[in-house]
Every structure is written in C-alpha cells, then in structure tokens.
Amino acid sequence: MAVKANPAKQKSFVVHIRIRNQEEHPVFWFEDETAVWADPAPFRQWAFRGSRPVSPRTVTHWHCNVMGAVRPDTGFFSGLIVSHGNGKLFQIFLDQLQEYLEPDRKNVMILDNARFHHMKILQWGKLEPVFLPPYSPNLNVIEPLWLRIKHRFFNGWIPKNQDQLDGRTWEALKYFSDSPELVKSICATTTYF
C-alpha cells in the first residue's frame, strides 16, 4: 500500500503560512537536500519519430549530496556539498546561512521531516523551523530548482570520476547562486502567497 500525502493537512499548512505572512511578514526560506547521481535517469529529449535515442550510462554509484536553501522573494540560493545528511553537517549549513538572514525580521525556514532536521542538538540561531506535512515535497518551492539544476548541468553528461562529478556540482550551485533573477522565477510560488 502506497503512503500518500494528506490533502487536508497540506491545505491547513498553506493556510497557516498565508496567515503568518499577512500578520508577521517574516522572511521565508525553503530548505531541502538532494543527490546528484553520476548515472541519472534520462530526461526527455528530442528525437526523430520512430527512432530510439540512446543515453550514455556509467553504471556506477557515484553521487554528490547537496543541502540547499532558497529565499523565493529575492532569489537568494545557497548550497553546500556534503558527504551525507546528518545533524552535524546540517548544523554547518545552518551556521553558514546565518550571515544571510535579516536581523530585524523573523526568519522562518520551511523544511521536510528528515530525521536529522529534528535533532535536539541543532542550534537554529535566527531561524525558526516550520516542518512540512509528511509526504509534501510539492509544498517545498526549492524542488523545481533541484530539477532545473539537474536538467541544465547533468542531462546527458557523464563524469569520468567522483572528483569530476563534485566539480560539476559546485559549478551548478555557483551558477544558480549567481543568478538570483533566474532562481526567483524558478521558485516563484502561488501556492502560498
């Protein structure tokens, strides 16, 4: 039996965020993690009718993990390449993000329910965590950004080794962090505001 999202909880969450936005005018941040694989599933591609396009494969398990946060109203994006997801590495990411927070406004981070997001050792600093309802990636506005990064930088691209994959991932993160208008358009949300 497949576990599905609860539409009533999702709707209630969106209403809650809208009310907070109207009453408090906080800065909203959306956080998530993703993995970039050396051998990703192929994206759609143009091909002549009746032909069968071939996508190269490495048949390896190389991958690069990324933690990222986006502020959709300004297009600010920050990403950190990590070996895996855990509380200590997530704390490093939170610490680095602190310098970009507005000190005079409430900063709210919307994120999923990964186990390490709930660790008691985490020091959130100027951020207030708000957790999405279970199984609700559709409510996290950073998700389309991950797809765009993978499509633009990794579609049909095959690395020769792990270092090459890490380097390409860093280039992709830098490109989007240097392109706030593009990020703003990708992460524009009508779901909440």
Give residue 49's pLDDT: 83
Cα–Cα nearest to 17, from 147, 189, 135: 189
Give residue 153's pLDDT: 93
Can you name the residues that pair with 81 across neighbouring β-strands?
A: 66
Neighbours of 20 (CB within 10 A): 17
Please give the single-letter amino acid code of residue 18.
R
pTM, two decimals, is 0.88
DSSP three-state, residue 132 = coil
Give residue 51's pLDDT: 80
What is 23-37+59-186's CATH number, 3.30.420.10, 3.40.50.720, 3.40.50.150, 3.30.930.10? 3.30.420.10
Distance CA 116, CA 104 (A): 28
Residue-range domain boundaries for the chain? 23-37+59-186
- Contact at 8 Å (CB) between 94 and 127? yes
- Please state the rounded mean pLDDT for residues 64-86: 96
Between 39 and 140, the higher pLDDT residue: 140
Q: What is the mean pLDDT of the chain?
A: 91
Query: 11-29, pLDDT tens digit by residue?
Result: 999 999 999 999 999 999 9
Please, how many CA atoms are within 13 Å of residue 102, restricted to the half-sphere of its CB? 14
Give residue 54's pLDDT: 65
Give residue 61's pLDDT: 75
